[in-house]
Amino acid sequence: MKKTQYLIGLLTLLFLLVACAKAEEKDVVKVGIRSSELKTWEYIKEQAAKENLELELVTFSAQFDPNQALAEDEVDINAFQHVAYLNLFNTNNNTDLQAIGTTIMAPIGLYSNKYSALTDIKEGAKIAVPNDPSNWGRALLLLQEYDLLTVTEDFDGNGGEDRIKDNPKNLTILPVEGATTPRVMEDADFAVINNGVAVEAGLLLTDAIIHESETAKPFINVIVAKAEDQDNATLKKIVDIYQREKTANFIKDISKGNYVPVKMPLDELASWKKFYSY
């Protein structure tokens, strides 16, 4: 009798161990991405396959938010956004999507057809910036990072004419349609240009006079999962593959240096809002 009870107990334990292991496994991990990230994730997929991990890449157009797909279980993780965007999505949609690892930065930069150094920014210089609130705010933070102005104490990441507290050089900030910022350089002294817009205009990050550094935490891109999956071993393995030095070198090469790989601990990333009052 005792032997039978022992065997039943042992089988029950084995069943539970297998069930727990299965809970940590995913036969195929679906990854939601934008087309701009396809080459990187094709590389990640190849590396994962070498470790018996199969990825299915699901590419979303600009008309559909990969966060919505994640919230609705259409994908297991996604990788397309920075942490500030993730926070805004969670706030607006009452979701609990969590960053499980950092990936890259696509830094915005300050460009000019007339000048080539930070010291060329003189009193009253005209600086064009993207006019949508998010990127306008990001431009102001870039200028603050290099001590060209200071944003207000209640700054929330969104730009506006009233978001500048101190402007010691009396810079003239010219909000314009983001896609036009490269052309506006002809009329302004400088222009803050988004990474993607700059690339389309034939500009590289190395052409920028200044650009965001890895200290600009709100704009570090992340791999995101649902809250209940944030400790999943399989998903953590994908993060590990992404953050390897070989992957970083691949990203730098295919982006011609426009993407900056970032490997930052999540507990350090958690202080990202403090950057607004840098």
Among 195, 211, 227, identify where a domain stops: 211
pTM (2 d.p.) = 0.84
Percent of the chain with pLDDT over 70: 90
Tokens of 244: 């390897």
**How many domains does one find in the chain?**
2
Q: Closest Cα to residue 58, out of 74, 81, 44?
A: 74
pLDDT tens profile 116-164:
999 999 999 999 999 999 899 999 999 999 999 999 999 999 999 899 9
Helix (H, G, I), strand (E, B) or coil at 277: helix
Q: Which domain holds residue 80?
A: 2-106+217-277
The answer on 18 and 57 residing in a single domain is: yes
Tokens of 85: 């965007």
Q: Give yes or no for residue 16 having a pLDDT over 50.
A: no
Q: Give yes or no for residue 13 having a pLDDT over 50.
A: no
The answer on 132 and 7 residing in a single domain is: no
Q: How far is Cα 271 from Cα 190, in angstroms, rounded to an integer?
A: 31
Among 211, 236, 257, identify where a domain stops: 211
Q: Give yes or no for residue 21 having a pLDDT over 50.
A: no
Query: What is the per-residue pLDDT for 278?
Result: 66
CATH number for the domain harbouring residue 183: 3.40.190.10
The answer on 121 and 25 residing in a single domain is: no
The answer on 233 and 100 residing in a single domain is: yes
The answer on 225 and 98 residing in a single domain is: yes
Q: Closest Cα to residue 260, out of 211, 225, 210?
A: 211
The answer on 78 and 63 residing in a single domain is: yes
User: Which pairs with CB-CB distance under 8 Å and at least 24 residues apart come from 247-251?
Assistant: 247/40, 247/43, 247/44, 247/47, 250/40, 250/43, 251/40, 251/104
Query: What is the per-residue pLDDT for 24?
Result: 46
The answer on 101 and 6 residing in a single domain is: yes
Among 211, 232, 266, identify where a domain stops: 211
The answer on 225 and 89 residing in a single domain is: yes
Q: Scanning the structure block, which residue is given the tokens 């965007």?
A: 85
pLDDT tens profile 47-89:
999 999 999 999 998 889 999 999 999 999 999 999 999 999 9
The answer on 121 and 205 residing in a single domain is: yes
The answer on 114 and 102 residing in a single domain is: no
The answer on 50 and 186 residing in a single domain is: no
Query: What is the per-residue pLDDT for 20?
Result: 43
Tokens of 92: 């607006």
Residues 119, 209 contacting (CB under 8 angstroms) = no
The answer on 98 and 13 residing in a single domain is: yes
Q: How far is Cα 209 from Cα 198, in angstroms, rounded to an integer?
A: 13
